[in-house]
Amino acid sequence: MIEQQIMKIMNQIEYGFLDEHGNNIINTNPKKWDEEFYDFYYLLTPDELLKNKYGVCWDQVELERSLFEAKNIKVQTYFICTYDEDNLPSHTFLTYEKNKEFYWFEHSWNIYKGIHKYKTKKELLLDIKNKFINSHATSQKAYTLIYEYQKPKYHINCLEFYKYCENGKLIKLNEPLYFYHVVNKNANLSLGLLSIQYMYDNKLFDLFDKNTNKYKNRIVTSWNIKKYQNKNEDNLTREEILDALNIFRGKYGTRYIYFFKFPPYEELGPKIKELLQVKDIYRININDEEIQKNIKDIFYGYDESNSYNVLLDKKYYEKVTREKYFSKYDDNLTINFSKLNHISIAFNNNYCPIEYLEKI
DSSP conformation letters of 318-336: HH--HHHHTTT--TTSSST
Please compute the mean of the pLDDT values over residues 210-232 and round it to a whole number: 93
Tell me what pLDDT residue 347 has. Answer: 97
Instruction: Supply the DSSP string of 42-56, one letter for each residue.
Output: BPPPHHHHHHH-EE-
Dihedral of CA atoms 263, 268, 271, 274 in degrees, nearest 10, equals 60
DSSP 102: E
Q: Phi and psi for 253 in degrees, rounded to 5?
A: -55, -40
pTM assigned to the model:
0.89
Give residue-wise pLDDT tens across range 159-194: 999 999 999 999 999 999 999 999 999 899 999 999
Confidence tier at 334 by pLDDT (50, 70, 90): confident
Please report the pLDDT score of residue 306 as a whole number.
72
DSSP 127: H
Type of residue numbered 33: W
Higher pLDDT pick, 307 / 360: 360
More confident residue, 91 or 230: 91
Report which of 128, 132, 123 is spatially closest to residue 105, judged by C-alpha positions. Answer: 128
CA distance 41 to 45: 13
For the segment 279-310, what is each residue's pLDDT rounded down to a tens digit? 999 999 999 999 999 999 999 998 887 767 78
pLDDT at residue 307, as a whole number: 65
pLDDT at 337 over 90: no
